[in-house]
Structure 1
């Protein structure tokens, strides 16, 4: 695999990992015991720490990418191993 392809796949893993990491560790103003600001959603985080979130996302994306690379190299899971409809024997024209 070329390094540009690997970089593009890592960026995809990173962007998808944002959605995995964002919900964890968030405390609302009510949970912290702070005063609710009028017009603010009750589910809004009290404090958003972008640095910590970016670090967590990077760790998760790196672990997932390493697993992807190892699977790519060693072929642990292939398309035929997850063929649910037994289409591996079909001849396509």
Structure 2
């Protein structure tokens, strides 16, 4: 795996992790009982974004290490994921 592939893999893992972590412990304006006129009642009031970014980075580093280790070791290859047998025996 080259450096560009590793960077793209880490970015994908990081953003997917952020999308999973972002809604946790989210307090909306409606939950807090203070809806600002002209805004959506589901708009975040307390979001703990800095902590969520640190958690996202930590989880992403661990997941990246596991996934990159599997890819680099050759334990799972593209040929293992070829469900439709597009890669012939000589490929």
Q: Structure 1 residue runs of 4+, over 3 Å off?
A: 4-9
Structure 2, unmatched stretches of 5+, are none
Q: Does 1:55 align with 2:24?
A: no
Q: Does 1:26 align with 2:22?
A: no
Provide closer, same or farther for how the CA distance between residues 61 and 37 of structure 1 changes in structure 2, counting only shifts above 3 A. same
Task: Output aligned runs, 1:1-93, within 5 Å.
Answer: 1=1, 4-5=3-4, 6-7=6-7, 9-32=9-32, 34-89=33-88
- With structure 1 as the length reference, what TM-score do the two structures score? 0.72
- With structure 2 as the length reference, what TM-score do the two structures score? 0.73
Count matched residues: 90
Output one character per residue of 1:64-87: Cα deviation in whole Å (capped at 9) or x when no partner.
Answer: 211122112322221111111111
Larger proportion of strand: 2
CA RMSD of aligned residues (A): 2.4
